[in-house]
Structure 1
């Protein structure tokens, strides 16, 4: 397998961090988060990146200034982002809309776009492209967003940022960044106006947990199966041939399963084989599920809060090993099917009754279908837009993001990053190749 191009080491010159405030006065008020927003598993800052090529039509325009001004305008509509989180009794999170602003860093790198390396998560040299401003990495009483715009020698630039995940999910932050792009291109207001209405996803009164939630079980990690620090990252491409091979191995009633379900089950099974130490231990796969359309009525257009749950499939290592792929597919399909409105409400109630617990970390594989950020801030579509880390952080941030993209042959497929210790990675690759009847093309660094 070819290795990922790590990119060149380069120097970055930064100006002092500044705060971008809303371009116009905004209300000073308290905005309550939902009980889906303020669960412990979302209390971290999520890094993302947009990487743009040189555009001759924009020569003379400074991307840092364009983006800074557009963010200030966007914060007029999304003014809670300019506030600070406060924690009340029972760990309840509230945004105090203070108008203090979001952090902004302007920088220049002595590198070209080609020297950044392969444009797949984890983005190389991210620490240079997204400066960790001292004191700004917390959750409570900290800026809710940090942005860095880094100009490149070739005329391209990197628009990187991180945001407090309790305020928005992937769809919500995409909505905000899309608004920044529209305003940067001259729009007077965003095409989709933001909607708060976090009360929709708050717990019932009195709260009552009506369903099982294995994604929040307390599990003792007796075998130390949480991923250790000595890890490697590999990217696996599932194109038409690989998907067809896996689908044909399933019984007819599962041929209609989605690509996401099939790839999730495949990687869960292979990852379990690569990491288990006791066949009787339970392994989980958690699927990040957007529930905007699961609610009745659906959440309003413009809702940018966290509208995600984590339905889980659970099986012992022995059952995953001795059964063919369709066993895991059935479990994944069933888990996703159970992500109903009642399930969402039960999760919100559980958060209140159990002190907003984190997700189960031991022997857990967390997957999500990642959004591609094709946001135009005036320079056209980015060469890359999306998650910046892609599963190399500690749990629960170690999400395996499934990204839809084309390989070097122009084939549409799903790129899956996996992070494991080297020996476990070798086992996983071997198992994947066995499942595909000796086809090694699935393992690709592109």
Structure 2
């Protein structure tokens, strides 16, 4: 079938990274001091996202030249994205989280590794040591200062380098972060902005008064969280976890679509069939109870679903979690096409009125997405297609954390001009559950 499940390769634990310079980057022009409204979607995502972008050596752009061009581009881009140079604050009058656009700056770190790029191992495997390529924002230059954006450029002995970017998720979703990278790359090439960002976040404000018109089982109130859990599916697990990469080729995905073709209602897309397969494997790898219910969560972009629609260039978080719920017995014995239908129905449910109801729910309650598994897709965000002056990234990935309830989808790693519209799937589970998951995954594909 062409599938592989990658076992843990030999991993370097120390990438021998040396920090050479830590500084702040400020907007190249004066920006207006203001408070930026954050939507109820933004405020739920108040945690950092760390992404790593790997680049091969380019003789015309050695790392020291890239450092200069990247710093200049950052100074210019912070004029347009002025909130990235600001700081999160709580408005004492409204009791809402906001961004104080105070031009305090973004962080910039220059570092080097004693290795060559081709010596650090398989870039697709989530090596915990890759965290040495991103800079933690805590107490960056002065005690208590927490920049919303930090860049770290780490050069290798071969002339290749990584750009590790830490941003608060309250600032961007995946789509708007991709637009930000396109704009950064354009400015680094001395070009105009690729896209004019639309940053009017009041368009996703709750209605007054809030009108929650639907039950929202995909959300859980903060005071209803089980003991010891702080943030639902976003909570870091304290258990020992195995990490594995499952790979599906375009042929594998085509075969999954064939299994689902007797569905009369579902849009049999690549994402829907992959999500249905992962939901089944995750649910059945847990406790053996056919009456237990399992809920899958997955992000849906609401820009085009609202009335009127948001511009594609909307900055901020314009994604909500769709869901599907089923008993484990149905997940095990039911038709695969029905599982795909349920995933599809969760996406269809996300129309303007439903999305507004979730946003209004967030106005009334403090809470988080609630489910057994969250499928987070980086599959087609296109970070690896951003054209910088020094070339496109060789590979892009986020830092992977100890979260057993989040499954990540990535584009496959491409060597040269070879292209396969398959997907890499990163799963983290306790060892016994991982063994079950792997068996279920493999057996379903060959059945």
Q: TM-score scaled to structure 2, two decimals?
A: 0.88
Cα distance in 1 for partners of 2:357, 2:297 equals 17
Which stretch of the first structure deviates more once superposed, 123-132 or 246-255?
A: 246-255
Q: Retained in 2: the 8 A contact 1:276–1:317?
A: no
CA-CA distance at 1:127 after TM superposition:
2.3
Q: Retained in 2: the 8 A contact 1:213–1:311?
A: no
Which residue does 2:91 correspond to in 1? Answer: 88
SS at match of 2:310: coil
| 2:433 aligned with 1:434 | no
Q: Retained in 2: the 8 A contact 1:372–1:386?
A: no
Seen in structure 2, the aligned counterparts of structure 1 residues 301 and 273 have a Cα distance that, compared at 3 Å, is closer
Which stretch of the first structure deviates more once superposed, 253-262 or 267-276?
A: 253-262
SS at match of 1:306: coil
Give the alignment of 1:3-402 within 5 angstroms. Answer: 3-8=7-12, 9-39=14-44, 42-59=45-62, 61-88=64-91, 91-120=95-124, 122-135=126-139, 142-187=146-191, 189-217=192-220, 228-250=238-260, 251-253=262-264, 256-355=267-366, 357-360=367-370, 363-370=372-379, 371-373=381-383, 374-389=385-400, 392-394=401-403, 399-402=406-409
Cα distance in 2 for partners of 1:203, 1:348 equals 6
SS at match of 2:175: helix
CA-CA distance at 1:67 after TM superposition:
1.1
Cα distance in 1 for partners of 2:131, 2:374 equals 26
CA-CA distance at 1:104 after TM superposition:
1.1
Which runs of no fewer than 5 residues in structure 2 stay unpaired?
A: none
Seen in structure 2, the aligned counterparts of structure 1 residues 61 and 33 have a Cα distance that, compared at 3 Å, is same
Runs of 4+ in structure 1 over 4 Å off: 218-222, 224-228, 406-410
Seen in structure 2, the aligned counterparts of structure 1 residues 206 and 368 have a Cα distance that, compared at 3 Å, is same
CA-atom RMSD in angstroms: 2.6
Which residue does 1:405 correspond to in 2? Answer: 412
1:331-387 Cα shifts (integer Å, max 9, x gaps): 1111111011111111110001113x11225x3333334423122332111101242
Q: Retained in 1: the 8 A contact 2:286–2:433?
A: yes
CA-CA distance at 1:65 after TM superposition:
2.1
1:19-51 Cα shifts (integer Å, max 9, x gaps): 111111111111111222112xx1100011111
Q: Retained in 2: the 8 A contact 1:79–1:97?
A: yes
Q: Retained in 2: the 8 A contact 1:192–1:301?
A: no
Q: Retained in 1: the 8 A contact 2:6–2:245?
A: no
Which stretch of the first structure deviates more once superposed, 54-63 or 78-87?
A: 54-63
Cα distance in 1 for partners of 2:10, 2:201 equals 41
Seen in structure 2, the aligned counterparts of structure 1 residues 387 and 285 have a Cα distance that, compared at 3 Å, is same
Which runs of no fewer than 5 residues in structure 1 stay unpaired?
A: 439-446
Q: Retained in 1: the 8 A contact 2:123–2:395?
A: yes
Seen in structure 2, the aligned counterparts of structure 1 residues 112 and 302 have a Cα distance that, compared at 3 Å, is same
Q: TM-score scaled to structure 1, two decimals?
A: 0.88
CA-CA distance at 1:406 after TM superposition:
5.7
SS at match of 2:74: helix
Q: Retained in 2: the 8 A contact 1:116–1:124?
A: no
CA-CA distance at 1:256 after TM superposition:
4.7
Cα distance in 2 for partners of 1:116, 1:60 equals 18
Q: Retained in 2: the 8 A contact 1:372–1:385?
A: no
SS at match of 2:422: strand
Which stretch of the first structure deviates more once superposed, 302-311 or 368-377?
A: 368-377
How many matched pairs? 427
